[in-house]
Amino acid sequence: MNAAVRPGPRSVDAVDLSVSIGGLRLRNPVMPASGTFGEGLGKALDFSRLGAFVTKTVTRELRAGNPLPRVVERPSSLINAIGIPSRGVPYFIAQTMPHYAAFDTPLVVSISAPTAEGFASLAAELSIPGIAAIEANISCPNIEEDGKAFAMRAESTERVTRLLRAATELPVWVKLTPNTGDVPEVARAAEAAGADAVVVANTILSMAIDLKTFKPCLGNIMGGLSGPAIKPIVLRQVFQCAKAVTIPIIGCGGIATAEDAVEYMLAGASAVQVGTATFLQPAAMTTIIDDLAAFCLHREIPRVTDLIRGVVIEEADEPDLSWLDPLP
Amino acid sequence: MNAAVRPGPRSVDAVDLSVSIGGLRLRNPVMPASGTFGEGLGKALDFSRLGAFVTKTVTRELRAGNPLPRVVERPSSLINAIGIPSRGVPYFIAQTMPHYAAFDTPLVVSISAPTAEGFASLAAELSIPGIAAIEANISCPNIEEDGKAFAMRAESTERVTRLLRAATELPVWVKLTPNTGDVPEVARAAEAAGADAVVVANTILSMAIDLKTFKPCLGNIMGGLSGPAIKPIVLRQVFQCAKAVTIPIIGCGGIATAEDAVEYMLAGASAVQVGTATFLQPAAMTTIIDDLAAFCLHREIPRVTDLIRGVVIEEADEPDLSWLDPLP
Amino acid sequence: MPIELEPLQACPPPAAVAGPPACAPWKASVVAELAEVVRNEPVNAEYRHLVVSCSEAAAQAQPGQFFQLLCPQPAGEQPFLRRPMSLYGADPAERQVAFLYKVTGAGTRGLDTLRTGDRLDIMGPLGVGFRLDPRWRRIIAVGRGAGLATLAPLARAAKANGTEVTAIFSARRPELLVSVALFERHGAEVIAVTDSESTSGPANVERILRREIAERGCDAFFTCGSSRLMRVQQRLAREFGLPGQVAMEQQMACGIGLCYCCVRDFNRDGEIVSRRVCWDGPVFDLMEALP
Amino acid sequence: MPIELEPLQACPPPAAVAGPPACAPWKASVVAELAEVVRNEPVNAEYRHLVVSCSEAAAQAQPGQFFQLLCPQPAGEQPFLRRPMSLYGADPAERQVAFLYKVTGAGTRGLDTLRTGDRLDIMGPLGVGFRLDPRWRRIIAVGRGAGLATLAPLARAAKANGTEVTAIFSARRPELLVSVALFERHGAEVIAVTDSESTSGPANVERILRREIAERGCDAFFTCGSSRLMRVQQRLAREFGLPGQVAMEQQMACGIGLCYCCVRDFNRDGEIVSRRVCWDGPVFDLMEALP
Ligand SMILES: Cc1cc2nc3c(=O)[nH]c(=O)nc-3n(C[C@H](O)[C@H](O)[C@H](O)COP(=O)(O)OP(=O)(O)OC[C@H]3O[C@@H](n4cnc5c(N)ncnc54)[C@H](O)[C@@H]3O)c2cc1C
Ligand SMILES: Cc1cc2nc3c(=O)[nH]c(=O)nc-3n(C[C@H](O)[C@H](O)[C@H](O)COP(=O)(O)OP(=O)(O)OC[C@H]3O[C@@H](n4cnc5c(N)ncnc54)[C@H](O)[C@@H]3O)c2cc1C
Ligand SMILES: Cc1cc2nc3c(=O)[nH]c(=O)nc-3n(C[C@H](O)[C@H](O)[C@H](O)COP(=O)(O)O)c2cc1C
Ligand SMILES: Cc1cc2nc3c(=O)[nH]c(=O)nc-3n(C[C@H](O)[C@H](O)[C@H](O)COP(=O)(O)O)c2cc1C
Ligand code: FES
Ligand code: FES
C-alpha cells in the first residue's frame, strides 16, 4: 500500500473495523460461533464490544442433547458431540433473549429443524423485534444419521434456503458444513436461493476411540472437530467459496488470534466467528478485535474491509527465496 | 478378553503381528505412506522390519513437481504441495527399485496418471518381478485443478479401479481422498470394481496465507494437510468405510504412535501407513511396531488382527461416570 | 430414558450477568491471567500442592469455587483444554490462591512440571461455591480423593462463622490422606477412614455419621469425591431432615456455562433435570444430586 | 520455465544406503536422540551458542553437515517441523556438538528457552559436508549471517590438513560478526566487512578476493549465507579456474531426502536440474549453484 497515495490510519481508533453482512452493519467483524457463546461470557468480556451475538442453535421442540461424554480433546483440537440441547422457542424468547436486550449489538439466532419446512416456520416464529438475523444451522453433523445434513448437498441447501427466504424479512445466514466434497457448489446454491451470507463452516465429522475401554470417546460415537487443527481446511473452503459466490462469507474454524482472522478475511471472509478459542481464552474475541485494529494500523490499512479477498495470487514465477539471502 | 479361555501371549515375540492385505501377507501392519519414504530412511531404521515398502507416487511422464515453497507447518500438522516430481518409469525401475531388492519386504509401488487408461497401462508396465502390489493414488489433491481427483466420485473410482483390475495380476490397493463428502460410497465403488484394499486416506486439501506478503504460503496456493491434526477426521472415515466394505482398509492419517495405530485398527483398519510422523521421528515406524507388540502383550491380545474392527459400540445407556468416583 | 430439561416455570428470571453498556463501565469478573508460581511441591505420593500469586479478583475466590488451569505441555503430550481445579485455599491479603492436585493425566502431568517463578494461566474464580449459614453450629464434611481438596477451604470459612466442623476423610491408605492438618489447624475434628484399615466402607461411615449426629448434633452435611458416601449422607439427611451440599465433578471445556459438555442429571422435586456443573454448580443441593 | 529434472544418464548407480538383512546386523547411521544441553547462551544481540552432549555417532559430524533439531515449544507457539542447523563445532572425544543460531521465528525462539541440563531431540548428522583436498595450500571462505556458523568448522578441519584459510566475513554491523575468534584461534586470517562501514558490497568483496588471489594465491572457494557474494565468487572462480563449494539453505521437512520440499535448481553442464538440499547437499559445487 502506498502511504503517499492513501495515508494509513494514525491510531487504532482511526481504523474502521465496521463491516456489512448482507445489509446488517456490524461494528467489527468478530462474533461468537454458535454453541460456544452464552450469557456467562459476559463475566469475561464486554458484550458491547462484539460485532454480533450468535446464539446456541435453537430448535422448536425440547431436546436433551447427546449422551455423555460430550467432548474429547485431541492435538490442537476438540471433538464435541453436545448435540443440540434446546429448551424450545418460548424459553428462548423469555429467558435467553433478555440477556442481550440491553446491548446495541445485533442478536443473531441460530436455528435448526429436522425438515426444510420446519426451518422456515421456526424462522418466521423468531422474526421478532430484538433479533437481527437468522443463522440457519443446516450443517450440524450430529443431528442426522451418520453426519448427513442439508448442507451436504446443493439441492437440499437450495430448498431449505428458498423456504427460509420466503419465511422471513430478516437477513438469512446459511451455515455450511465442511464435510461435503464441494462446499463452493453448496454455497452457490445458498446464494441462488437468496441467502444473505454463508457461514463457512461448522465442525468436521470426527471420531476418537478410548484405548482403555475400546469404546468411542464420545457418547454419540462421532462428533465435530473444531479448533486450530481445522483452520487450514476451512480456510481453503472459504477461499474456494469466495470464487463461487458474491454474498458475504463469514469464516469460522480454528480462529484464535487476530492473525487467524486476517488470514480468513484475505481468503475471502467478510467477518469471522470464534468458537473453541473462547474455551481456552474467554476474552479471545475482544483480544482479537484489539489486535485486528493494531494490525491494520501497523500495516497502514484504513478499513478492515480492505482485507476482504485480499490474498495476492501471482502467476507462478520464480519462487521467492529472498529470505535465504540476508543481504540488503 | 477372558485369559482363562484364551491365554494372552507371554512375550512380545509371541505376539503375532502379521496381517494379510488382499492376499499379500505382511510381517506386521506398519508401512510408510507414499511420498514420505525413500532410500534415505534406511539410515535411520531397519528396512527389514517394515511391513511393506510404499514408494513415492510414480508417473509415466517426467514431472517437475510444484513451485516452492512446498510445505508450511500449522498446529500439529503440515501442509504440503510437493506435487509429484517423478523421473518416470525407466528411472524408477533402474534406480529406485534396486534400493529395496535386497529385502524380503514387499514393495508396493504407488502410481498416478491423468486418465483411467493411463493408470491401467502404468499398472501393467509395473507388474514386474520385485513389485508386490500396486497402490493407485487416485486422490492426490494437488494434481487436478482445485483439488479434484478420481477419488472424489464413486463413478470415476469405479472406472479406474475396473481398468486397473483388468490390467494387472498384482493386488490393487486404491488410495482414497478424504476430501469427498461420501468416502464410504467411494470405497464401496472401489470394492465393487475389484480393489483388493483401500487406503484411507490421502491428505486434506488446505491453505495457508502469509501475513507478511498476503500471498499463499505454498507455491501451489493449496496443499494437503497431514499429521496428528487430521487423525480424528480420517479415523472417522475408516470407521465409516468399515461399515461399507469387507475388503481390508489401510488406515493413513496422523499416525505417530502405536496407540494411534491401535485406534485405527479398532476403527476398522487392517494395516496402517505412517507419513508425516517419520519427518519428526525417523524411526517412528519401528518404534510403532515395537510398541504395538508391547500393547498386545500388555492387553493379552495374541494376534494383532484381533484388534481389527474391535471398537466396542454399545447401546446408548447410562453414561459411564465411574471415573468420577474413586471408590472401589 | 430421555433426559428431561429444567422445566420453564422452574427457572428464575434471568439475572443480568453483565451490565448494559449504559450503566457503569464494564469490568470483568472472570479473568484469565498469568499467575506466578510461588510453590509447587509434593504433599504425598499422589498429590501436589500448588500456590500461585494472582490478581485481587482471583484471590477473592470462595470455598467450593474452582479455576480452569491452562496446563503447560509435558514432554510429548498436548493437553488442549483447560483443567478444572477446586480452590484449595485463598489469601486475599497476599493475593495468592492454592490448589491441591493429583497427577492423573496429561494436564496434571503438565502442572507437575511447574517450577517456582514459572507462569501459569489461571481462569476464575468460577462456579457457585458452598453456602454457609452463620446460624449453623456444627457441620459434617465427608470427602474422599480429590474431594478433600474441594472441601478444604470450608474449615477456615466455617471457623470464621463460628461453626464447628467434623470431617470424615476417606482414602486408600492413611499416608494418602491430605488436608488433615489444615482442618485441624482451624479447630476441626478429623476422622480418617481408609481402605487399608477397612474403615472406609459405607456402612462404617454411616455408623460414624449416626454417632456424630447423636452425640454432638449436626446442622448440615457437605460432601465431595465419592458418590457412595454421598448416598449415605443423602439417606441420613432425609432421615434427620438436614440440609446438605455436594460439590460435583464433571469433564469441562469452557468452565463458564457456554458449551453444555459438563451437564449432570439432578432430581428437582421428582423431575430429572440436566444442569451444568460449571455454571449451576459445582456445589449443588445434596438432595437433588444423582450419583 | 519448467524445472527440468536430473537426466537419467547423469545419475550414478544407486549406492546401497542400508545393507541387506543378510549382511551384518543393521545399525542406524542417522539417529534422533535426546541430547543434554551443556550450554545455551547469547554470543551477541542476535546469535546464541548451543552446546549439547550427544552420542558418539552424532559427535562424528563433519563440517558442512547439519542436524535437525526438534525445538521446544516457546509460550503460545507450536513449531511442528524440526529445524535444520549446521554443525558449528564437534568434539568427538567429549561427545559434544555445538550450534550457532539466530533467533528468528517460533523454532529458534523455542531453542532460546533451553537451559543447561534440559534435553533436546537432535537428529543427525545429515547431508553431504564440505570436501577438503589435503593438497590445497590455501582456501578462501566467504560468509554472511548464519552462513558463518556453517563455515565455522572449516577452520579447524583445514588446519588439520595443513591448509591455510582466509575468511571474509560479512555482517550488518561489526558487533554482529560471529566466529571470528574461532577462525583466528585456528590460525585463519579474518577480513571483516560490514554494511555499517559500507565495506560489505559485492564490489568491495570482489576487490578483496582479487587482492587475496593475486597476493597469496587460492586453491578453492567456500561460501555460505549470501547469494550476492556467491555470485561474485562464481565469477572469479570461472575467471581463475578455481574449484568451489557452497553450502545452501532451504526450508526442510524430513531432512533425509524423503519429501522433496527442499529442492533447489542447479546448473549441471548447462542443464537445469532439481536437487534436494538435505540429501544431495547442503554443500554443492559452487559452479552448479543458482542463486
Ligand atoms: C469443579 C472441579 C474441581 C476439581 N478439583 C480438583 C482438585 O481440587 N484436585 C484434583 O486433583 N482434581 C480436581 N478435579 C479433577 C481434575 O479436574 C482432573 O483430575 C483433571 O482434569 C485431570 O486432568 P488430566 O489431564 O490430568 O487427566 P486426563 O484423564 O488425561 O484428562 C482427560 C480429560 O478428562 C477430564 N477429566 C479427567 N478426570 C476428571 C475429573 N475427575 N473431573 C473432571 N474432569 C476430569 C480432563 O479435564 C480432561 O478434559 C476437579 C474437577 C472438577 C470438575
Ligand atoms: C542446512 C541448513 C543449515 C542451517 N544452519 C543454520 C545455522 O547454523 N544457524 C542459523 O542460525 N540458522 C541456520 N539455518 C537456518 C535455520 O534453519 C532457520 O533460521 C530456522 O529454521 C528458522 O526457524 P524459525 O522457526 O526460528 O523461523 P520461522 O521463520 O518461523 O520458520 C518457519 C519455517 O521456515 C523455515 N526456515 C526459516 N528460515 C529458514 C532458513 N534460513 N533456512 C531454511 N529454512 C528456514 C523453518 O525451518 C520453518 O520450517 C540453516 C538452514 C539450513 C537449511
Ligand atoms: C461445544 C460446541 C458446540 C457447538 N454447537 C453448535 C451449535 O449449536 N450450532 C452450530 O451451528 N454450531 C455449533 N458448533 C460449531 C461452532 O459454531 C463452529 O462452527 C465450530 O466450532 C468451528 O469453529 P471453531 O474452530 O472456532 O470452534 C459448536 C461447536 C462446539 C465446539
Ligand atoms: C510431503 C508429502 C508428500 C506426499 N506425497 C504423496 C504421494 O506422492 N502420493 C500419495 O499417494 N500420497 C502422498 N502423500 C500423502 C501421504 O501418503 C499420506 O496419505 C498423508 O500424508 C497422511 O498421512 P500422515 O498424516 O501420516 O502424513 C504425501 C504426504 C506428504 C506429507
Ligand atoms: S464446561 Fe462448558 S458449560 Fe460447563
Ligand atoms: S527436507 Fe525432505 S527431501 Fe529434503
In this complex, which chains have at least 3 CB pairs below 8 Å with chain D? A, B, C
Residue C5 pLDDT exceeds 80: no
Mean pLDDT value of segment A79-100 = 94
Closest to B234 (Cα-Cα) out of B199, B259, B207 = B199
> Residue A74's pLDDT is what?
98
Q: C81-99 burial string, b = 16+ CB within 10 Å, else e?
A: bbbbbbbbbbeeeebbbbb
* Largest distance between two CA atoms of chain D: 62
* pLDDT number for residue D142: 96
Nearest CA to ligand 1 atom 10: C101
pLDDT of residue B63: 87
Among D232, D245, D158, residue whose Cα is nearest residue D193:
D232
Write down the pLDDT at residue A146. Answer: 53
The answer to whether C96 and C53 have CB atoms below 8 angstroms apart is yes
Between the alpha carbon of residue A23 and those of residues A29, A248, D68, the distances in Å are 14, 10, 53
Which positions ≥6 away from D9 have C-beta within 8 Å? none
Q: In this predicted structure, what is the pLDDT of residue D10? A: 31
Residues in chain C within 8 Å Cβ distance of D119: 75
**Cα of C111 to nearest chain A Cα, Å:** 16
Task: Note the pLDDT of residue D93.
Answer: 95
A129 touches chain D (CB under 8 A): no
pLDDT above 70: percentage of residues in chain A: 91
Question: Do C223 and C246 meet the contact criterion of CB atoms below 8 Å apart?
Answer: yes
Tell me which residues of chain C, numbers 234 to 273, contact chain B at a CB-CB cutoff of 8 Å: 249-250
Q: What percent of chain A has pLDDT over 90?
A: 85
Which of B74, B153, B317 should one mutate to test binding to chain A, selecting the residue with the greatest count of A CBs within 10 A? B74
Give A324's pLDDT tier (boundaries 50, 70, 90). very low
Say yes or no for a CB contact (<8 Å) between A95 and C78: no
Place of cell 577480513: D191
Which residue from D78, D170, D249 is facing A324, i.e. has the nearest CB? D249
Nearest CB partner across the interface for B233, out of A68, A214, A225? A225
The alpha carbon of D251 and the centre of ligand 6 are apart by a number of angstroms equal to 8
Residue segments in chain B with a per-residue pLDDT below the cut of 50: 1-4, 142-145, 147, 318-328
Tell me, using a 6 A CB cutoff, whether residue C251 lines ligand 5. Answer: no
Question: What's the pTM?
Answer: 0.95
Which of C172-186, C224-238, C250-264 is the least confident region?
Answer: C172-186
Mean pLDDT value across chain A: 92
pLDDT band for position A149 (50/70/90)? Answer: confident
Asked whether the predicted pLDDT for residue C24 surpasses 80, the reply is: no
Q: What is the ipTM of this complex?
A: 0.94
B295 vs B308: CA distance, rounded Å: 14
Per-residue pLDDT tens digits for C37-82 = 999 999 988 899 999 999 999 999 999 999 999 999 998 889 999 9
Q: Which amino acid is at A52?
A: A
B78/D263 CB distance under 8 A: no
Which of B231, B291, B317, B324 is the mutation pick for testing C, counting most C CBs within 10 A? B324
A216 contacts B313? CB cut-off 8 A: yes
pLDDT at C225 over 70: yes
Residue A305 Cα to ligand 2 middle (Å):
34
A76 touching D, CB under 8 A? yes
Q: Is D28 part of the contact surface with chain B (CB cutoff 8 Å)?
A: yes
Report all structural domains of chain C as residue ranges with CATH numbers, in order of start.
31-126 (2.40.30.10), 138-288 (3.40.50.80)
Test B325 with C226 for CB contact under 8 angstroms: yes
pLDDT at A61: 87
CA A128 to CA A126: how far, in whole Å? 5
> Using an 8 Å Cβ cutoff, are C228 and C242 in contact?
no
Rounded to the nearest angstrom, the distance between the alpha carbon of A282 and the centre of ligand 3 is 15
Check CB contact of D195 with chain A, cutoff 8 Å: yes
The alpha carbon of A282 is separated from its chain's Cα centroid by a whole number of angstroms, namely 17
pLDDT for A6 equals 64
Chain D neighbors of B227, CB-CB under 8 A: 80
Q: How far is CA B23 from CA A157, B248, B306, in A?
A: 44, 10, 18
Q: Which residue of A209, A236, A312 is in closest CB contact with B207?
A: A236
Residues of B with Cβ-Cβ distance to D17 under 8 angstroms = 39-40, 42-43, 99
Q: How far is D249 from chain A (nearest CA, A)?
A: 7
| A103 CA → ligand 6 middle, Å | 55
Distance from CA of A317 to the nearest CA of C (A): 39
Q: What angle do CA A10, A15, A17 make, to 5 degrees?
A: 175
Least CA distance to A39: which residue of chain C?
Answer: C17
What is the predicted pLDDT for the residue at A123?
Answer: 98
Handedness of CA D270, D272, D276, D277 (dihedral sign): positive
Q: Is C121 on the interface with D (CB under 8 A)?
A: no
**Is any ligand 5 atom within 6 A of the Cβ of residue C252?**
yes
Q: What is the pLDDT of residue B146?
A: 53
Average pLDDT for A42-52: 97
Is the Cβ–Cβ distance between B184 and B151 less than 8 Å?
A: no
Query: Distance (Å, rounded) from C-alpha C94 to C-alpha C103?
Result: 27
Tell me, using a 6 A CB cutoff, whether residue C262 lines ligand 5.
yes
Residue-wise burial string across A50-88, b where 16 or more C-beta atoms lie within 10 A, e elsewhere: bbbbbbbbbbbeebbbbbbbbbbbbbbbbbbbbbbbbbe
CB contact under 8 A, B263 and A319: no
Question: D200-215: per-residue pLDDT in tens?
Answer: 999 999 999 999 999 9
Residue of D43, D77, D78, D83 to test ligand 2 pocket, by largest number of atoms within 8 Å of CB: D83
Q: Which of C242, C241, C243, C227 is nearest to C289 (CA)?
A: C227
Shortest CB distance from D30 goes to which of B43, B77, B279?
A: B43
Nearest residue to B143 via CA among B200, B71, B66, B209: B66
Give me A268's grid cell.
475471502
Tell me the chain D residues in contact with residue B75 when contact means C-beta distances shorter than 8 Å.
78, 80
Report the gap between the CA of D122 and the closest CA in chain A (Å).
23
State the pLDDT at residue B5.
Answer: 56
Distance of CA D43 to the CA centre of its chain: 18
Find where cell 492426490 sits. Answer: B140
CA of B56 relative to ligand 4 center, distance in Å: 9
The answer to whether D172 and D194 are in contact (CB under 8 A) is: yes
Tell me the per-residue pLDDT of C94-105, one tens digit each, with 9 for 90 and over: 999 999 999 999
* pLDDT of residue D12 exceeding 80: no
Mean per-residue pLDDT for C23-27?
80
Test B214 with A312 for CB contact under 8 angstroms: yes
Instruction: Report the run of H or E that residue B222 belongs to, with start and end.
Output: strand B222-226
pLDDT tens figures, C268-286: 999 999 999 999 999 999 9
Among residues D109, D34, D97, D27, the alpha carbon closest in space to that of D65 is found at: D97
**CB–CB of C227 and B325 under 8 A?**
yes
Q: Which of B152, B236, B266, B311 to mutate to test the interface with A (most CBs of A within 10 A)?
A: B236
pLDDT in tens, D43-94: 988 899 999 999 999 999 999 999 999 999 998 889 999 999 999 999 999 9
User: Residue A33's pLDDT is what?
Assistant: 98
pLDDT-derived band at A4 (thresholds 50, 70, 90) equals very low
Testing ligand 5's pocket by substitution, the residue of C83, C261, C284 carrying the most ligand atoms inside 8 A of its CB is: C261
Ligand 5 in contact with C80 (CB < 6 A)? no
CATH code given to domain A3-324: 3.20.20.70
pLDDT at C148 over 50: yes
Q: What is the pLDDT of residue D68?
A: 98
Q: Could you tell me how many CB contacts below 8 A there are between chain C and chain D?
A: 3
Confidence of residue A322 (pLDDT cuts 50, 70, 90): very low
Q: Answer whether A324 sits within 8 Å of D195, measured CB to CB.
A: no
Q: Answer whether C73 touches D (CB < 8 Å).
A: yes
Closest residue CA from atom 10 of ligand 4: B34
> Any idea what DSSP says for residue B90?
H
The backbone torsions φ and ψ at residue B7, rounded to the nearest 5 degrees and listed phi first, read -65, 140
User: What are the tens digits of pLDDT across the range A96-119?
Assistant: 999 999 999 999 999 999 889 999
Residues of B in contact with D108 (CB under 8 A): none
Following DSSP, what letter does each residue of B301-316 receive, concatenated? Answer: -SBGGGGTT------S
Give the pLDDT of residue C13: 40
**A140 counts as catalytic:** yes
Secondary element (H or E) of residue C97: strand C96-102
Q: What are the b/e assignments for A242-253, b being 16+ CB within 10 Å?
A: bebbebbbbbbb
Q: Which ligand approaches the C-alpha of residue D66 most closely?
A: 2
Is residue D217 pLDDT above 60, yes or no? yes
Neighbours of chain C (3+ CB pairs under 8 A): A, B, D
pLDDT of residue A140: 58
3-state SS, chain D, equals: CCCCCCCHHHCCCCCCCCCCCCCCCCCCCCEEEEEEEEEEEECCCCEEEEEEECCHHHHCCCCCCEEEEECCCCCCCCCCCCEEEECCEEECCCCEEEEEEECCCHHHHHHHCCCCCCEEEEEEEECECCCCCCCCCEEEEEEECCHHHHHHHHHHHHHHCCCEEEEEEEECCHHHCCCHHHHHHCCCEEEEEECCCCCCCHHHHHHHHHHHHHHHCCCEEEEECCHHHHHHHHHHHHHHCCCEEEECCCCCCCCCCCCCCCEEEEEECCEEEEEECCCCCEEEEHHHECC
Asked whether the beta carbons of residue A229 and residue B262 sit closer than 8 angstroms, the reply is no
